[in-house]
Amino acid sequence: MLDWTKAWNPCARGALLSVSYRQPGVVLTDRRFSVPLDHDDPTGERIELYAREVVAGDKAAQDLPWLVYLQGGPGFGANRFIGRQAWLERALREYRVLLLDQRGTGASSPANRQTLPSRGGPREQADHLAHFRADSIVRDCEAIRPEITGGAPWTVLGQSFGGFCTVSYLSTAPEGISTAVITGGLPTLDGHADDVYRAAYPRIERKVAAHYARYPQDVERARRIAEHLLEHEPVLNGGYKLTVEAFQSLGIVLGRSDGSHRLHFLLEDAFVRTPQGHVLSDAFQEEVQGLLSFAGHPLYALVHEACYAQDERPTAWSAERVRAEFPQFDAAKTLTGDGPLLFTGESVHPWTFDTDPALRPLRDTAEELAARTDWAPLYDPARLAANEVPVAAAIYHDDMYVDTAHSLETARSIRGLRTWVTDEFEHDGVRAGGPRVLDRLLALTRDEE
Q: What are phi and psi of 172, to 5 degrees?
A: -120, -30
Question: Which of the 8 DSSP states describes residue 285?
Answer: H
DSSP 252: G
Q: What's the length of the chain?
A: 449
406 is catalytic: no
Catalytic residue among 338, 374, 423, 447: 374
| 8 Å CB contact between 253 and 365 | no
Is 211 a residue of the active site?
Answer: no
CA dist 361 and 296 (Å) reads 15
Q: Which of 160, 171, 260, 407 is catalytic?
A: 160
Dist CA 350 CA 243 (whole Å): 13
Considering the candidates 406, 427, 428, 439, report the single residue annotated as catalytic: 427
428 labelled catalytic: no
Are 419 and 411 in contact by the 8 Å Cβ rule? The answer is: yes
CA distance 255 to 248: 14
Is there a cis peptide before residue 435, judged by omega within 30 degrees of 0?
no
Q: What are phi and psi of 234, to 5 degrees?
A: -75, 155
Q: Helices (H) and strands (E) in the chain — how many of each?
A: 18, 11
DSSP 206-251: HHHHHHHHH-TTHHHHHHHHHHHHHHH-PBPTTS-B--HHHHHGGG
Residues assigned a catalytic role: 160, 374, 427
